[in-house]
Every structure is written in C-alpha cells, then in structure tokens.
Amino acid sequence: MSAITSLPQTAGSVEAMKPEKGYISVKDFDFWYGTHQTLFKVNMEMPEKQVTAFIGPSGCGKSTLLRNIKRMNDLVDGQHHQGDITIGNDTIYHPHLEVTSLRKRVGMVFQKSNPFPKSIYENVVYGLRVAGVNDRATLDAACEHALRSSALWEEVKDRLSASALGLSGGQQQRLCIARAIAVKPEVLLMDEPCSALDPIATGKIEELILELKKEFTVVIVTHNMQQAARVSDLTAFFYLGKLIEFDTTLKIFTNPSLKQTEDYITGRFG
C-alpha cells in the first residue's frame, strides 16, 4: 500500500457519502461504437456540487461515459446505447430535448486545450454569443466573472483582445474552463484536463477544481491517482467497460472493497 501512504489527505470532505440518489444518475447504461460494446450496465449516482473522479486504464470506457453525459458521442457514426442518464430530473435522451440545450447545461473541458483562434474575450463569451446574447455589458460581466472564477483574470485582464493562442498551455486550459463556466452550466465535465500540463499548471487547475465544486457538479476523468485522491469526493473505477467499484475517494484509496481496485491503485496492473 505504498502509494496510499504517500498520499496527502484527500481534499474531499471526509463526511462525503456515496449517495442513494445523485444529481447525475446513470441507469443500466450500455454503449456501442458500431458493434463494439464499450460500456456494460453502468449504474451510478453522482452527487450535486461534489467532484466525482473516473479512473481506470486506457480504453476502459471512462471517457466514453463522460462524453455521453453531454451526448458528445452523438457525433460519432454508428453509435447507439441502452439505458438512461438523467441530470436533475431530466433524461438526456428525451426525444423532445434539443441536444444544444443539454450541452448548454453541461460544460466540458477537454484533454487538450482547444481555445478558438479568436481573442481571449471572444473565447470566453463564445457560449453566450451562440446562445444569442449580444449585449456588451452582459458579456463583459460574464467574461470577467468567468475569468475570475477560473483564476485567470489577473493574468489576462489587460489583454482581453489578444489572441487566445498566445497564452501558455496552462493558461489556455484555464481559459477553456472559463469558457465552459461562462454559460453557467450545472455540470462541469473534465476529460483529463491536466494530462498535457506541467506540475505547476496542474496544481493551479486542481485548486481551481476545488473552488469550482462550490458552484458546479464536477466529473473528472484522470489517469493520475494522486490527482483523483486530491480533488475528488467520490471515485469510480472502471475496467473493460464495467464499473468495478464506486465509493467515496477516502474508501477507494484507503480501503477498497475489491482486490482489483486495490491492485490498480497501487500500480500492480493497468
């Protein structure tokens, strides 16, 4: 258990409990890319305003599930699913639900920072603009708020009209977070947000995640055990498309129920 002894204490509240009914519910969820099934009967409840981490080896389906929460997999040809995902009380696969309105409720930060080749300002207000907001004062306020929330305001406030592509990698990723939260989503999904960043930038993003969970329900996919331990309240371990174990982060990292989980966390496989 060497990995665990070296862990800092989990940032997640000790009193975090695995909820009976979460804000995001995944029910009997199966998913296929063509004929290849990538998720098998996943059931999980992710609580509101807490951080849920998905861990597991590459190809285990954690990113697939994350992308399904905002139906990003709709873009893939030949995908289909069974079961259901609900956010709040709304099923995301409701036939009358417009997928763009779902995507406005659920923000996402990608593995590789992907700012638009526009100014910093235009990047942050992009979501508002496509939603039809063009009032300058509203946009300015939203931009400042989002940049402050993503701890980028002090660094960029004097060059909002400069290109976003001139920022450093860590700044770009925080800009992407600002862009995602500017539209005030309910849920924030993060797909390995720090995998391309150096430790200092990673540290900043992790601090930011702990701030963000006051306002948003956060789901994060990570390959970094320490990161999962540091930022999340709950941790889900996936393996080969199946949810193996899902519990409070403290329990997963100190006393997992299953041998398989323990082996993965301690680095014996995966």
The size of the chain, in residues, is 270
Q: What residues contact residue 191 under an 8 Å CB cut-off, 6+ apart?
A: 63, 66, 67, 108, 109, 110, 111, 221
From CA 246, how far away is CA 32, in angstroms rounded?
22
State which of positions 75-114 bind other proteins (CB under 8 A).
75, 77, 100-101, 103-104, 107-108, 110, 112, 114
Site string for other proteins, 132-171 (x = CB under 8 A): -----------------------------xxx-xx-----
Residue 140 beta carbon to other proteins: minimum distance, rounded to whole angstroms: 16
In this complex, which beta carbon is closest to other proteins, that of residue 114 or of residue 255?
A: 114
Task: Please identify which residue in 62, 174, 179, 204 interacts with other proteins, judged by CB under 8 A.
Answer: 179
- Distances in Å between the Cα of 164 and the Cα atoms of 6, 14, 104, 171 are 38, 39, 22, 9
| Region near other proteins per CB under 8 A, out of 125-133, 134-142, 200-208, 244-252 | 125-133
Phi, psi of 167 (to 5 degrees): -80, 160
Local structure of 94: helix, strand or coil: coil
From CA 263, how far away is CA 173, in angstroms rounded?
32
| Region near other proteins per CB under 8 A, out of 2-10, 32-40, 121-129, 197-205 | 121-129
Phi, psi of 221 (to 5 degrees): -100, 130
Q: What residues make contact with other proteins under the rule CB under 8 A?
A: 70, 72, 75, 77, 100-101, 103-104, 107-108, 110, 112, 114-119, 122, 126-127, 129-131, 161-163, 165-166, 176, 179-180, 183
